[in-house]
Amino acid sequence: MKYLFTNVIGRFIIDDNGSITKDSAPQKTQLKELPTEKINLALEAFKDKKYFASFSEKNKEITKKAIKDSVNEDNLITQTISNITELDRAGNLLVKRLREWYGLYFPELSERIQSHESFVEVILAKSKTELTKEFSVENLMGADLSKADVDEMLLLATQVKALYEVRKQHEIYLEGIMKNYCPNILELAGVTVGAKLLELGKSLKHLAMLPASTIQLLGAEKALFRHLKTGSRSPKYGVVFQHQLIQNAPKKIRGKAARMLADKLSLCARLDYFKGEFKAPEYRKILEEKIK
């Protein structure tokens, strides 16, 4: 009696006394599947060293395939939002340096332009003489530097500006992915907060499984553990704090607002994961009415 046994490395023909041969022409063979009670016998036989190499090879192949297939929108979103965070950090490092450096040349300007982005734009677009007029600054403290010295600063400014532009482009890209993958979260949370929630929740699937109270605190892990350890005040919000609705809410009700927002975000995550309706605009309206 011969049986057919199929495992990850192929199809094998096993006879009653346990000898195994590889089934090289599977289409033509007409054999009975190995009955359950004999499977142990077959598995025992595969402990033979001669199969180890093929097992290992096949195992690697399957793992590689699994890794390849595991890349999905979650990964792309996580990588992009992490990169946006990194770009912000790098941009901040460099723009602070630029302000200080440019301060040797024109120290009065830095305090007059708060926004980093406008500062970079302005010094790239206009000369010191033009800016002196525009901001009506007198008695300049800045040194009269050579063109070469100033050019070096402007080179850095160009670089910082480019970083800002890449950041914007990344946001547009992120929005594109999220529009298909999680339209409800995108609509209610916005690009940045939405992507950060996905990053912190590890994946849309996992985010959809989290209770709203956890979503409310995603990103506040440090404060939460400090609270648990030392009994300090418990945090009221994580990244949801950056949401426009919470930012605009009166300070007193921010905690409550964060809870309501997290409730709706949790619903959005579930709708998106289970490919439900597009209900986010409705939720937004409800929240906007309640939080005033």
Per CB under 8 A, residues contacting a second copy are 60-61, 64, 67-69, 71, 75-76, 79-80, 82-83, 86-87, 89-91, 93-94, 97-98, 100-101, 104, 107, 139-145, 148-149, 152, 155-156, 159, 162-163, 166, 169-170, 173, 176
Backbone dihedral angles phi then psi of residue 238, each to the nearest 5 degrees: -100, -125
Nearer Cβ to a second copy (50/68): 68
Q: C-beta of 97: minimal distance to a second copy in Å?
A: 5
Cα distance between residue 222 and residue 233, in whole Å: 12
Tokens 């792309």 belong to: 76
Nearer Cβ to a second copy (107/255): 107
Q: Is 202 left (phi over 0), alpha (psi -120 to 50) or beta?
A: left
Nearer Cβ to a second copy (77/280): 77
Could you give the dihedral angle defined by the CA atoms of residues 73, 74, 79 and 83, in that order, rounded to the nearest 10 degrees? 90
Q: C-beta of 67: minimal distance to a second copy in Å?
A: 5
Q: C-beta of 263: minimal distance to a second copy in Å?
A: 33
Q: Which two three-digit tokens encode residue 190?
A: 């916005």
Q: Which two three-digit tokens encode residue 74?
A: 């979650």
Asked if residues 262 and 240 have their Cβ atoms less than 8 Å apart, the reply is yes
Nearer Cβ to a second copy (130/152): 152
Q: C-beta of 168: minimal distance to a second copy in Å?
A: 11
Nearer Cβ to a second copy (83/214): 83
Q: C-beta of 282: minimal distance to a second copy in Å?
A: 31
Distance separating the N- and C-terminal Cα atoms of the chain: 80
